[in-house]
Amino acid sequence: MKFSIGFIILFLGIVSISSGWDISLDQIETTASSKIETFTFISNGTDTKGKIFLPPSYETNKDLPAIYLIDFKEQHFKLATDEFEKVIYGIQQIQDFDALVVTLEEHLDIDAKPKVFQEQYDIFKNMTIYIDGKYTNNSSRTFIGRGSESGIVLMALFLENSETSVFDNFIVTDPSPDFTTTVINMIEKEDFPKNKRSKKLHFSFSTSNDYDKCTGMINLINEVQYPWLEFESVEYKNSNYENTYPVSFAAGIKYIFNK
């Protein structure tokens, strides 16, 4: 009798452990159905490496929008190594929505400046050509960035025209004052192409940024009321540069895709 009870307890223990393993394996398989792939594309005659997040739905649906993250090594603040993951997280917070997330494989040691905009912008323009040809049937492209890199995003919004347009949507978080000043001057002097397709911009800034410059640019855009631009701005009054981007990325994605 003692043997039988012991055997039953042992058997139930094995079943319980086996059941736990089954659940764990299912969870791993669900997670593993999303992928991050690396790829090589040509930019300015140079082999350049990128990486792309493919959500689980990508196996059956290639008609997904692409979000391009510009993310260099931080020159002025503590380097954040998780911006790619935070963009993915922002997408995952939206029910019944998926997108590809694309960026460079490594953080390039580049200090984003207005005077070298074209060179840095071209990297991502060339990246879109490769992604369109290999990964997606969807023409929607969103450009997203934080800090100095987001200044590249902001300048792209104004400098693209209808013939050369690459991106449809722009998410800008805490651009450096150099970029904000440059864009203010462009707006005031009307020194940018006027023939544009419809665009959307989500602009946000934190307590670490230059309040006067950011609000000055926001006010200018609101006053002009560009017919080609849908615009939303957010001031994060209780958050600094190093803590704002996970929230602002998610808010920007939600706004851009009307979710």
State which fold the 33-256 domain adopts.
Rossmann fold (3.40.50)
Structure tokens at 180: 């904000």
Which residues fall within 8 angstroms of residue 38, CB to CB, at 6 or more apart?
Answer: 49, 50, 51, 52, 105
Of residues 13 and 20, more confidently modeled = 13
* C-beta of residue 70 within 8 angstroms of C-beta of residue 37: no
Cα separation, 128 vs 122, in Å, equals 10
Which residues fall within 8 angstroms of residue 57, CB to CB, at 6 or more apart?
Answer: 64, 98
| Domains in the chain: boundaries | 1-32, 33-256
Residue 16 has pLDDT above 70, yes or no: no
**pLDDT band with cut points at 50, 70 and 90 for residue 79:** low
Closest by CA to 87, choosing from 138, 157, 36, 123, is 36
Residues 89-124 pLDDT 10s: 999 999 999 999 999 998 877 778 999 999 999 999
Share of the chain above pLDDT 90, in %: 76
In this prediction, residue 4 carries a pLDDT of: 44
pTM here? 0.85
Share of the chain above pLDDT 70, in %: 85
Residue 213 has pLDDT above 70, yes or no: yes
Residues 239-255 pLDDT 10s: 999 999 999 999 999 99
In this prediction, residue 72 carries a pLDDT of: 82
In this prediction, residue 17 carries a pLDDT of: 34
In this prediction, residue 27 carries a pLDDT of: 28
